[in-house]
Structure 1
Amino acid sequence: MIAFQVDDMTCGHCASTITKAVKTADANAQVAIDLASHRVTIEPSQADAQALREAIAEAGYTPVPIG
């Protein structure tokens, strides 16, 4: 399980964009978004944390690893 704090994710469109970015890096990843806490939790199937962080950053967001 990989988690990121993404404080600049503020709406459903942001969540959709981040989900698509993660799926581009890892098509079979399971993505859970909590807009209220600005948290993205990913259960990857193949991509590592760095690749997922970069995918979210390339989509225009600022992911900060949690924990």
Structure 2
Amino acid sequence: MVRVKVEKMGCGGCAKSVATAVQTVEPGANVEVDLATKLVTVSGATIQSDRIADAIIAAGYPAKLLPAAA
């Protein structure tokens, strides 16, 4: 599981854009977007965290990978 903080994500359209960007690089991933906490959680079999962060940044949203949850 990968968690990414996306501070500039403020509306439903932003959330959809971020989810679409993640799905572009990880098509089989489960993407959950929480606008209230500005947190994106991505899970699946083979998730590449760097590709996810890069895709979100390329979509125009500054993204910060968070440490894996214990």
Place the TM-score, normalised by the shorter chain, in its bin: over 0.9
| Structure 1 vs Structure 2 CA RMSD | 1.0
Distance, in Å, in 2 between the alignment partners of 1:55 and 1:45 is: 18
How far is the alpha carbon of 1:39 from its aligned partner? Answer: 0.3
Give the corresponding residue for 1:51. 51
Alignment-mate amino acid for residue 41 of structure 1: T
Q: 3-state DSSP class of the match of 1:19?
A: helix
Identity %: 33
Query: Which sections of structure 1, spanning at least 5 residues, go unmatched?
Result: none
User: Could you state the TM-score of these two structures normalised by the residue count of structure 1?
Assistant: 0.93
Matched, 1:6 2:2: no
Aligned length: 67
Compare 55-64 and 40-49 and name the one that shifted more. 40-49
Distance, in Å, in 2 between the alignment partners of 1:45 and 1:14 is: 26
TM superposition outliers: structure 1 runs of 4+ over 3 Å = 44-47
Distance, in Å, in 2 between the alignment partners of 1:54 and 1:60 is: 10
User: Could you state the TM-score of these two structures normalised by the residue count of structure 2?
Assistant: 0.90
1:10-58 deviation line (CA, Å, top 9, x unaligned): 0000000001000100110100111001000000443410001101010
Distance, in Å, in 2 between the alignment partners of 1:11 and 1:5 is: 15
